Chain A
Amino acid sequence: MIKIEKLHKSYPIGKSSLHVLKGIDLHIKEGEFVSIMGSSGSGKSTLLNIVGLLDGHDEGNYYLNGELIRDLNEKKAAILRNKFLGFVFQSFNLISYKTALENVALPLYYKGMARKERLKVALDYLDKVGLKDWANHLPNELSGGQKQRVAIARALVTKPKVVLADEPTGALDSKTSDSVMDLLKDINDEGMTVFVITHEEEVAAQTKRIVRLKDGVITSDELTKAAKAV
């Protein structure tokens, strides 16, 4: 599903440049539940941005769903994101003046789905994350866990190939963290590829494969107990 070969990325800082990713090789197959572990500055967010087509890479090859990603313009990237990727962010990133239902339906709007249909689909997904009764509430009327579940529903609504979660529990307490992780696990059980970035061991332990990143290189890549148990 995601295949990365000798990926390099550096950011210019003044006249010099900061080499963030130093030759990453990573292969994630369909249906995997992978977490990228690393402290801040390890390059994990950069990796997610590149995988999520939010940023370009300098060197190496990146195949998404078998397609080589190269020289994407904004328009093409937007269409690919809409088609293949679902995002879950640490800070939820819901649009504050839209209701939960409208937030979930937004990716379908960009897909070009008719309003009636997309609201119906969005409601189904809100039901799936257990928030059907909250459909017409604005984000600031929801708790953090609820917000993140709305965000997960939004990520799933287009039936993407991969769900990318950037510190999905970073802003949540441990109890709601667990419920969010359970939700991601359920999604994975249904066959969805889930790609989580985190710096918390407990979160990583709930995934099936942990890739550790340090200073822009992969230091370890192993299956967790959860994966072995299956």
Chain B
Amino acid sequence: MFDLDRWREIFQSINKNRLRSVMSGFTVAFAILLFTLLFGIVSGLSNSFKSAFADDAQNFMKVRVWKTSKPFKGLQTGRRVQLKNKDYNYITDEYKNKIQYQSARIFKNFSIKYKNEANAYSVMAVNPDHQFLEKTSIDIGRYINKRDLREKSKNIVLGRLIKKDLFGDRTALGKRVNVNGSSYLVIGVFSDEGGDNEERKAFIPITTAQTMYGNNDYVSEIVLGYDPNLSLDRAIAFGNKMERDLRNRMNIHPDDQSALSVRNMAEANKGIGQFMGILYAIVILVGSGTLIAGIIGVSNIMIFVIKERTKEFGIRKALGAVPSSIVGMVVQESVLITTIAGYLGLSLGTYILSLIGDSLEEDYFIKDPSVSASIVIGATVVLILSGLIAGYVPAKRAANIKPIEALRAD
């Protein structure tokens, strides 16, 4: 396969005909450059979509209730629907094998005070799993745990900005803060990628909130993370089934979106997936169109080159070159040119993408545009194939010219 003499012949031929080699390489380099840029930009868009939801877990689901908007089973419109612990437990029992994380939520707005600093903040009462659903990262201390729930302890986890507001540079951990008149122990400080609002929140145990503020078993919302091993379609089916079951259980009209709704990230993910799929399809279509134009360009130039070299091929044949050696030589030359040129295009494209970096994120919604290793490998295969195609047609033609005709050519 590897024939040093053949390569020597090819390098000599390319070297002696630099202009046309560069010209034919240029079309391919340009095509690959465009393809790389297009692909990188679309992957940048895709990254933006992904990071837009990065704040919450990808498998996030939320059960939310309000007032009925449709009469059902003799119950009136406008009835207030309330989620309770038994609903929470029902979900746990019924769908155990499809749920990764589960937490209830109660929303409160409390003033939190430390020494002379005080402010109003939103305080959320949650279960321990909530940390993973909101992708809360603990900077110091710990999150709410099961023992807090059992003991209904008055512990609080503060957002990074609350800590900053109240404590400044001093340590907050182990200090006591006044929350709506009661004293809570600061057990942790967290940060969140979701932005400033997310970091001006505080978390307390759900049982504490139920006991202290209402003395009931009400919860405002139930959030859960479905088992990430579920396919998107099965996750959507799970969400729909849970919604039906809950409506049935709570006597809500099957179509009453106002009374109860389940927001399922699987649906959003599927939508984004489809949208990105279409975008990628367009890129591949446009990209391969450009590439085909490039291949035809190389092929055209190779045809011209072969006309120019007809006499040379005639001489080679008279000296004993078999047709396949002529085809091999031309094809190999074409593969070499397309591969080198293509890689130049690819490298240039990757370089431009790295220069763009995140600079277009604000205005154009493009984040970290780049091409993956699999694309690079794929492009290599495509380049070699296109070199083969571009070279083969003209080479076959060259090999079929009779030596006497070729010798006569000038």
Q: Is A142 an interface residue, CB under 8 A from the partner? A: no
Q: Write the A123-159 contact mask toward B (1 if CB under 8 angstroms, else 0).
A: 0000000000000000000000000000000100010
- The CA of A75 and the CA of B325, in the complex, are separated in Å by 10
Contact A75 B318 (CB under 8 A): no
Tell me the minimal C-beta distance from B177 to chain A in angstroms. 86
Q: Which residue in chain B gives the minimum CB-CB distance to A84? A: B320
Residue in contact with B319 in the complex, picked from A55, A74, A87, A115, CB distance below 8 Å: A87
Of the 9-residue stretches B45-53, B224-232, B308-316, B380-388, which lies at the interface with chain A?
B308-316
Residue contacts A-B, CB under 8 angstroms, 6 given: A52-B318, A54-B407, A55-B404, A74-B317, A95-B315, A111-B320
Contact A154 B404 (CB under 8 A): no
Contact B320 A110 (CB under 8 A): yes
Q: Write the B223-248 contact mask toward A (1 if CB under 8 angstroms, else 0).
A: 00000000000000000000000000
Tell me the minimal C-beta distance from B97 to chain A in angstroms. 69
Contact A74 B323 (CB under 8 A): yes
Contact B320 A79 (CB under 8 A): yes
Q: Write the B387-409 contact mask toward A (1 if CB under 8 angstroms, else 0).
A: 00000000000010011100100
Residues of B near A106 (CB, < 8 A) are: 316, 319
Given known contacts A79-B322, A97-B12, A97-B16, is B316 in contact with A55 (CB within 8 Å)? no
The prevalent SS among residues of B at the interface is helix
Residues of B near A89 (CB, < 8 A) are: 407
**Other 8 A-B pairs with CB < 8 A, given A54-B403, A79-B320, A107-B319:** A52-B318, A81-B317, A89-B407, A95-B315, A95-B316, A97-B12, A106-B319, A110-B325
Tell me the minimal C-beta distance from B372 to chain A in angstroms. 42
Q: Is B13 an interface residue, CB under 8 A from the partner? A: yes
Residues of A near B407 (CB, < 8 A) are: 54, 89, 93
- The CA of A115 and the CA of B12, in the complex, are separated in Å by 15
Given known contacts A55-B402, A115-B5, is B320 in contact with A93 (CB within 8 Å)? no
Q: Is A19 an interface residue, CB under 8 A from the partner? A: no
Contact B320 A81 (CB under 8 A): yes
Q: Is A98 an interface residue, CB under 8 A from the partner? A: yes
Q: Is B324 an interface residue, CB under 8 A from the partner? A: yes
- The CA of A98 and the CA of B311, in the complex, are separated in Å by 14
Residue in contact with A93 in the complex, picked from B4, B12, B318, B322, CB distance below 8 Å: B318
Residue in contact with A54 in the complex, picked from B4, B13, B323, B404, CB distance below 8 Å: B404
The count of chain A contact residues (Cβ–Cβ below 8 Å) is: 26
Q: Which residue in chain B gives the minimum CB-CB distance to A52? A: B318
Residue in contact with A95 in the complex, picked from B312, B323, B403, B404, CB distance below 8 Å: B312
Residues of A near B212 (CB, < 8 A) are: none
Contact A93 B403 (CB under 8 A): no
- The CA of A149 and the CA of B225, in the complex, are separated in Å by 87
Q: Is A49 an interface residue, CB under 8 A from the partner? A: yes
Q: Write the B286-315 contact mask toward A (1 if CB under 8 angstroms, else 0).
A: 000000000000000000000000011011
Residues of A within 8 A of B (CB): 49, 52, 54-55, 74-75, 78-79, 81-83, 87, 89, 93-95, 97-98, 106-107, 109-111, 115, 154, 158
- The CA of A161 and the CA of B71, in the complex, are separated in Å by 108
Q: Is B250 an interface residue, CB under 8 A from the partner? A: no
Contact B311 A110 (CB under 8 A): no
Top 7 nearest A-B pairs by Cβ distance?
Answer: A82-B320, A97-B16, A110-B320, A107-B319, A78-B322, A75-B322, A54-B404
Q: Is B321 an interface residue, CB under 8 A from the partner? A: yes
- The CA of A120 and the CA of B226, in the complex, are separated in Å by 77
Residues of A near B323 (CB, < 8 A) are: 74-75, 78
Tell me the minimal C-beta distance from A191 to chain B in angstroms. 22
Contact B321 A93 (CB under 8 A): no
Residue among A89, A95, A115, A154 facing the most chain B CB atoms (10 A cut-off):
A95
Contact A75 B324 (CB under 8 A): yes
Contact A82 B404 (CB under 8 A): no
Q: Which residue in chain B gives the minimum CB-CB distance to A166? A: B407
Tell me the minimal C-beta distance from A171 to chain B in angstroms. 13
Residues of B near A74 (CB, < 8 A) are: 317, 322-323, 399
Contact B318 A81 (CB under 8 A): yes
Q: Which residue in chain B gives the minimum CB-CB distance to A110? A: B320
Contact A82 B319 (CB under 8 A): yes
Tell me the minimal C-beta distance from A70 to chain B in angstroms. 17
